[in-house]
Amino acid sequence: MDEKKKVIFSGIQPSGNLTIGNYLGALKNWVKLQDEYDCYYCVVDLHAITVRQEPKELRRRTLEVLAIYLAAGLDPEKNTLFIQSHVPAHSEGAWLLNCFTYLGELGRMTQYKDKSQRYGDSISAGLLNYPVLMAADILLYNADLVPVGIDQKQHLELTRDIAERFNKLFSPTFNIPEPYIPETGTKIMDLQEPTKKMSKSADNPNSYILILDPPDVIRKKISRAVTDSLGTVKYSDEQPGVKNLMTILNALTGMTMEQIEKKYEGQGYAQFKLDVADAIVTELEPIQKRIKEILDDKEYLENIYKKGAEKANYVASKTIRKMQKKIGFIPR
Ligand code: TYM
């Protein structure tokens, strides 16, 4: 029965064009979970505005991310797919939880430290409070599991701390969620600087492969990916560029690292890179076609996000009322 299924929550920010990092670290794994779990997948537009967004672009990208969810294989009948700002409980919950989160905890978040360096003087308070909004996202649905790439692990640990604190201060209210980090594709690295995470906000387009990059662009970017002068396909920390391309190939084809090493033994990098590019194109081409079809049918998209918001609103506002009652607010 549905009620017994464990709950999953995850989201992606519509803050840039999605990369193959988002696909392999998150989306591809979400699709595998949809039969077994009660899944909530959200387009987290409230998170996106922690850095400046052009309103028109934000609108376009929000719908595009939802279309990508669907095109990647998330079934709207099985999953609750919605847009974060359509469910006011996320903002409300974030405020409540902000009052049970310490400034010191937020200042220690690696992503905040990185981004605040990048944006210099114009860091919004939202950027600091961002992980609290993420905690609200997860706790409002009493999620058991949160499938994310490893870069989000620290935020999830903070979510657990906040939930435990609230439960202890009042009485058991929240489930303590577990991260659900895939074995493969956990962290796809930048193609130009393979010691850095591949990010949709990188300045150099050769650093990333976008889900919507055309095949010829994908092939060009992979051929330009930084490797090394050793010339052997080996899964080693000394060869971060090669290691990253192997991770991508493994996540896409299921070939093990040993199988990949063996296949390209004594061959240099040329064929290896051609095959990595081919694997990406083979995976993404049908998805790209579906994304375009879905985006052409705005009514279909609207039906999905409206239905999703309705279900999410129902569940999340129940949790808000529970929180308010425990905190000591007068019931409405
Ligand atoms: P975001 O939008 O940066 O990334 C979305 C998902 O993609 C994963 N990811 C990667 N995985 C592997 N390699 C990479 N290079 C890579 N880049 C991104 C991320 O780990 C993430 O799973 N704070 C979140 C969004 C969020 C959220 C949530 C997630 C908001 N509320 C609640 C889970 C639960 C974020 O910025 O993800």
pLDDT at 185: 61
**3-state DSSP of 61-123:** HHHHHHHHHHHHCCCCCCCEEEEHHHCCHHHHHHHHHHCCCCHHHHHCCHHHHHHHHHHHHHC
Work out the average pLDDT over 283-298.
98
In a domain, 59, yes or no: yes
Closest CA to 16 of 221, 252, 207, 220: 207
In a domain, 197, yes or no: no
| Domain at 32, CATH number | 3.40.50.620
In this structure, are 178 and 255 located in the same domain? Answer: no
- Give the position, in ligand 1's atom list, of the atom nearest the Cα of 13: 2
In a domain, 2, yes or no: no
For residue 200, indicate whether it is catalytic.
yes
pLDDT at 202: 87
Q: Chain-wide mean pLDDT for the chain?
A: 95
Q: How many domains does the chain have?
A: 2
| Residue 221 three-state SS | helix
Q: Is 60 exceeded by the pLDDT of residue 207?
A: yes
Judge whether 14 and 51 are in contact, CB under 8 Å. no
How far is it, in rounded angstroms, from Cα 219 to Cα 212?
13
In this structure, are 277 and 312 located in the same domain? Answer: no
In this structure, are 26 and 163 located in the same domain? Answer: yes
For residue 197, indicate whether it is catalytic.
yes
Q: Is 60 exceeded by the pLDDT of residue 2?
A: no
pLDDT in tens, 136-150: 999 999 999 999 988
In a domain, 131, yes or no: yes
In this structure, are 231 and 258 located in the same domain? Answer: yes
In this structure, are 79 and 21 located in the same domain? Answer: yes
In a domain, 316, yes or no: yes
In a domain, 306, yes or no: yes
In this structure, are 72 and 86 located in the same domain? Answer: yes
| Domain at 263, CATH number | 1.10.240.10
**Residue entry with tokens 């609200």:** 136
pLDDT band, residue 118 (cuts 50/70/90): confident
Q: Pick 331 or 206 by higher pLDDT.
A: 206
Which residue's CA is the closest to the ligand 1 atom numbered 37? 12
pLDDT at 39: 98
pLDDT in tens, 157-195: 999 999 999 999 999 999 999 999 877 667 999 999 999
Which residue's CA is the closest to the ligand 1 atom numbered 7? 22
Work out the average pLDDT over 222-250.
96
In this structure, are 94 and 51 located in the same domain? Answer: yes
In this structure, are 180 and 229 located in the same domain? Answer: no
In this structure, are 258 and 307 located in the same domain? Answer: no
In this structure, are 284 and 307 located in the same domain? Answer: no
Measured from CB, residues less than 6 Å from any atom of ligand 1 are 9-13, 21-22, 25-26, 44, 47, 134, 137-138, 146, 148-149, 151-152, 155, 185, 187-188, 197-198
Transcribe 131-165 into DSSP letters.
HHHHHHHHHHTT-SEEE--GGGHHHHHHHHHHHHH
Q: Which residues, at least 6 apart from 219, have a Cβ–Cβ distance to it below 8 Å? A: 274, 277, 281
Q: Which residues, at least 6 apart from 114, have a Cβ–Cβ distance to it below 8 Å? A: none
The domain of 231 spans 205-292
